[in-house]
Amino acid sequence: MKKSILFFAVLTLSLFASAQTQRGIVKSIGRPGKPGKTLNNVTIQAKGMINPVLSDTTGEFNISVPGKNDGDAIVFLRIKKNGFELKDKELIGRQLVCSSRVPIIIQMVDCAQLEADKKRIADNAYRVAEENYQKKLAELERQQQENEITAEKYRNELQGLQDKYDKYLSLISNMADRYARTDYDQLDSIDYQINLCIENGELDKADSLIHTVFDPETVLERNRAAKREIEERIAIAQSIIDKAQADKEAILQDIEYAKRVASLSENLAQEYLLIDDKQHALDCLEKALKIKKILYGEESEEAMKIIQTINTIKP
């Protein structure tokens, strides 16, 4: 009987020691003149959990993740609150880093607010696009009527103007969605001005701010946060690889995790390229390259592909 009790006690202590609690906070995004707030009663369930948890009145939640250590992957299967949706639509199913030190921040968007913001941004963008198109078209027609340009140049300029107009219109929906999901609580003063110009349809003013005032190192805060997160993941992955022992299964697990981190670094590089931030894109690719050299070798095909991408981005 004593042996059974002792065994049960040891087993309980063992399970408790292997369990880790992942903290998190759920908040809404901030909008112009309307700061974000923490959200309670958000249903959160991670892979391996039997029952979901709810965020409390401060927006905080705690998930027990037995068997997980710092650096292991944690995957959310469900994050739900009536009237809200996730700011990052791809968060469900994504592998995140489990950490006893760093809480996971989950951002949600009020659905009604999101649709209203998207409509406002899109309407303004269409209005500005049409005004600019008509203004440039009028100038082009004036030049033709006054024989300032040849008929051939008029046709070429007109086709180019139409192509740019059509391309811009095709981007409005995605642009409106992206900026409607921007968290204004995390933007510095310059980013804030740029986003306000975009939301108000003042695209020329936004472009001027970006090119004359905007420091390339001062990228949108959401991308800085993403970069910090990816760097933490890379550091953890590198540590895991360094500590890998002869156990085949453990090494394979480490390799798979390292592959995921390299993939995340490459994906983030593409995000930086979308906002023409080549330096941060190169930083991410260099980190992915370092991991792939460790995994596959200095002259491997995987490493060479990243090197080719880096060479096409470098000035």
The pTM of the full predicted model, rounded to 2 decimals, is 0.59
Q: What's the gap between Cα 307 and its chain centre?
A: 24
Q: What is the mean pLDDT of residues 45-72?
A: 88
Task: Count Cβ neighbours within 10 Å for each residue of 229-253 and write b for 16 or more, e otherwise.
Answer: bbeebbebbbebbeeeeeeeeeeee
> Which of the pair, 59 or 184, is modelled with greater confidence?
59
Residue 156 has pLDDT above 80, yes or no: yes
Range in 37-41, 59-63, 256-260, 298-302 with the lowest mean pLDDT: 256-260
Residue 186 has pLDDT above 80, yes or no: no
Q: What is the mean pLDDT of residues 40-50?
A: 92
Radius of gyration of the chain (CA): 25
User: Which amino acid is it at 226?
Assistant: A
pLDDT at 49: 85
Q: From its phi and psi, is residue 67 left (phi > 0), alpha (psi between -120 and 50) or beta? A: left
How far is residue 37's CA from residue 106's CA, in Å, rounded to a whole number? 12
Phi, then psi, of 188 in degrees rounded to 5 = -80, 180
pLDDT at 52: 93
Residue 110 has pLDDT above 50, yes or no: yes
> Which of the pair, 275 or 13, is modelled with greater confidence?
275
Tell me what the pLDDT averaged over the chain comes to.
Answer: 78
Nearest residue to 105 (alpha-carbon basis) of 127, 128, 76, 136? 76
Task: Count Cβ neighbours within 10 Å for each residue of 184-211 and write b for 16 or more, e otherwise.
Answer: bbbbeeebebbbbbbbbbbbeebeebbe
Q: Which domains does the chain have, with CATH numbers?
A: 2-110 (2.60.40.10), 112-210 (no CATH), 221-313 (no CATH)
- Going through 12-142 in order, the beta strands assigned E by DSSP cover 19-28, 43-46, 53-54, 60-66, 73-80, 84-86, 95-97, 104-110
Q: What's the gap between Cα 167 and its chain centre?
A: 24
Share of the chain above pLDDT 70, in %: 76
Task: Dump pLDDT digits (tens) for 245-264.
Answer: 444 555 556 676 677 777 77
Share of the chain above pLDDT 90, in %: 28
How far is residue 12's CA from residue 186's CA, in Å, rounded to a whole number? 43
Range in 47-56, 130-139, 263-272 with the lowest mean pLDDT: 263-272
User: Are 257 and 297 spatial neighbours (Cβ–Cβ below 8 Å)?
Assistant: no
Residue 111 has pLDDT above 90, yes or no: yes
Phi, then psi, of 96 in degrees rounded to 5 = -110, 165
Nearest residue to 302 (alpha-carbon basis) of 262, 253, 257, 254? 262
pLDDT at 38: 95
Q: What is the mean pLDDT of residues 197-219?
A: 61
Token output for 280: 């941060």
User: Are 188 and 218 spatial neighbours (Cβ–Cβ below 8 Å)?
Assistant: yes
SS3 89: coil
> Which of the pair, 236 or 29, is modelled with greater confidence?
29
> Which of the pair, 64 or 250, is modelled with greater confidence?
64
Range in 18-22, 114-118, 149-153, 202-206 with the lowest mean pLDDT: 18-22
How far is residue 256's CA from residue 294's CA, in Å, rounded to a whole number? 13
pLDDT at 223: 53
Token output for 257: 């995790």
Strand partners, 104: 24
Task: Dump pLDDT digits (tens) for 189-198.
Answer: 767 777 788 7
> Which of the pair, 10 or 144, is modelled with greater confidence?
144
Q: What is the mean pLDDT of residues 62-80?
A: 86
Q: What is the mean pLDDT of residues 96-100?
A: 80
> Which of the pair, 34 or 197, is modelled with greater confidence?
34
How far is residue 288's CA from residue 130's CA, in Å, rounded to a whole number? 43
